[in-house]
Chain A
Amino acid sequence: MADERRIRVLMAKPGLDGHDRGARVLTLGLRDEGMEVIYTGLRQTPEKIVQAAIQEDVDVVGLSCLSGAHRYLFPEVVEQLKANGVEDMLVIGGGIIPKEDIAFLEEKGVGAIFGPGTSIKEIASYIRENTKRK
């Protein structure tokens, strides 16, 4: 039997900013790394992202935020996943995130933050090494 392990990623933009170039570049980049990437589009609420992540049974939720609301939105996604009993999904973030916020977000359960200039390879290998789901 094939019993194929394919990493599935939900790429989401929480909040109100309309800049999704980064999320799109990463969507294509991770596709080329052999992952299945579900793109949900702009202006998502944490509730919507969590429901989509559950139904799609993804390994990774990638959040992109350029509006400055990451301190609220990213932890909210982690919290709501937990509230739904999902503890083993990797949540990572990107966008314009000030350095001093990274430790705060990681403490809140975000696996890693990738800022501008990060290579796609770096993100892909982080995902491969850190997905917790079987």
Chain B
Amino acid sequence: MELVEKMLVGSDQSLARLITIVEREAPEVPQIMSLIYPRLGNAYFVGITGPPGGGKSTVVDRLTALMRKSDSSVGIVGCDPSSPFSGGAVLGDRIRMQQHYLDEGVFIRSMATRDSRGGLPRTVRGVLKLMDAFGKDFVLVETVGVGQTELDIMDAVDTTVVVLVPEAGDAIQTMKAGLLEIADIFVVNKADREGADYLVVELEQMLRMNPKHDWWQVPVLTTQAVNDIGIEDLYREIEKHREAIQKAGQLSLHRQEQRKAEFVQTIEQRIRARLLELVEKDGQLMKCLERVEEGEIDPYSASMEILTNKSLLQTWLAELESED
């Protein structure tokens, strides 16, 4: 595939096009993924998550500047929500990252969540792989502003940074499960505001009562990203976490799990897509669906009826094969 070849020798435009193809979940995706597979494994993935308006984009911007200073190339994926009504989206993470627009070592891509739930577009993993294959040393993934339970990010990246603001202090009691559990590093941003110290103490207490791993003590940092304060500490902690996760043998385990999840997810998606196609074609299946829609039979019994019907399953298999 020409696009992949061009991307692998450094064409920005080809990378951009390939990302579009992955975002659209086009039929070429499996081919692209298998072509880039041998080139994967060099990038380190850092996720930046937290509630809306906490300064995630600014943290990403300042962190990128430091990474560039130490000569690492950086890919950035900024996610924003799609409207459930129009399907459109406003993607605004870039606004905070203007200093990097003309830096050839930085590639910024904005993604809408489209029909995914959970803080990340479902196709983000494929996009991260493309950036890895492209040769980025670090890839920073900024999630949409999240609440308590949008936790997909921790499976997609190696280090998860949770960015909070001092005002989150009051809510912390109720937030102990979910978002607060996935942090490898906490950042209390806008730390010049009242309540920052209190939040740091709260978080540290929570972490002491319930340490996440015996090989990594989750740090709580304070930053003022707009003033470039505390970002060096954050970069240092990311590097430390990277060392710790590698030393403990956790990185390879983590990536194994990622591959497994991806395998299952890919199969699931393809079967699902094929099933939906077949529902429109197969007479028996259509009839069954009609009965379910009319409420004549409950969905569970109907699905059992279909899944235990061997001749029906065989016709599907034949249809699938003839399509391929």
Which applies to chain B's interface (DSSP): helix, strand, loop or mixed? Answer: mixed
A128 to chain B, nearest CB (A): 13
The closest CB in chain B to the CB of A124 belongs to B88
Residues of chain A contacted by B25 (CB below 8 angstroms): 1-4
The closest CB in chain B to the CB of A47 belongs to B102
Pair A36/B27 contact, Cβ less than 8 Å: no
**In the assembled complex, A131 has its CB within 8 A of some CB on chain B:** no
**In the assembled complex, A85 has its CB within 8 A of some CB on chain B:** yes
Selected from B13, B91, B102, B273, the residue in CB contact (under 8 A) with A36 is: B91
Q: Which of B90, B94, B107 has the most CB of A within 10 A?
A: B90
A1 to chain B, nearest CB (A): 5
The closest CB in chain A to the CB of B273 belongs to A1
In A1-39, which residues have CB < 8 Å from any B CB?
Answer: 1-6, 8, 27-28, 30-39
Instruction: Give Cα A54–Cα B15 distance, bound, in whole angstroms.
Output: 10
Pair A55/B95 contact, Cβ less than 8 Å: no
**In the assembled complex, B188 has its CB within 8 A of some CB on chain A:** no
In B63-86, which residues have CB < 8 Å from any A CB?
Answer: 82-83, 85-86
Residues of chain B contacted by A3 (CB below 8 angstroms): 24-27
Pair A34/B86 contact, Cβ less than 8 Å: yes
Pair A28/B26 contact, Cβ less than 8 Å: no
Pair B83/A31 contact, Cβ less than 8 Å: yes
Contact A32 B101, CB 8 Å, known A3-B27, A6-B114, A39-B95: no
A3 to chain B, nearest CB (A): 5
Instruction: Give Cα A54–Cα B91 distance, bound, in whole angstroms.
Output: 15
Selected from A4, A32, A33, A55, the residue in CB contact (under 8 A) with B109 is: A55
Selected from A27, A40, A54, the residue in CB contact (under 8 A) with B94 is: A40
Pair A57/B17 contact, Cβ less than 8 Å: yes
**In the assembled complex, A84 has its CB within 8 A of some CB on chain B:** yes
Pair B87/A34 contact, Cβ less than 8 Å: yes
Pair B13/A33 contact, Cβ less than 8 Å: no
**In the assembled complex, B5 has its CB within 8 A of some CB on chain A:** no
Pair A32/B27 contact, Cβ less than 8 Å: no
Pair B102/A5 contact, Cβ less than 8 Å: no
Chain A interface (Cβ < 8 Å from any Cβ of B): 1-6, 8, 27-28, 30-41, 44, 47-48, 51-52, 54-57, 84-86
Mark interface residues in B2-45 (1 if CB within 8 Å of A CB, else 0).
Answer: 00000000001100110110001111010000000000000000
Pair B26/A54 contact, Cβ less than 8 Å: no
Pair A41/B13 contact, Cβ less than 8 Å: no
Pair B19/A57 contact, Cβ less than 8 Å: yes
Contact A38 B110, CB 8 Å, known A32-B83, A48-B101: yes
Residues of chain A contacted by B112 (CB below 8 angstroms): 6, 36
Instruction: Give Cα A54–Cα B13 distance, bound, in whole angstroms.
Output: 6
Residues of chain A contacted by B85 (CB below 8 angstroms): 32
Pair B101/A56 contact, Cβ less than 8 Å: no
Residues of chain A contacted by B24 (CB below 8 angstroms): 2-6
**In the assembled complex, B251 has its CB within 8 A of some CB on chain A:** no
Pair A56/B110 contact, Cβ less than 8 Å: yes
**In the assembled complex, B313 has its CB within 8 A of some CB on chain A:** no
Instruction: Give Cα A112–Cα B107 distance, bound, in whole angstroms.
Output: 29
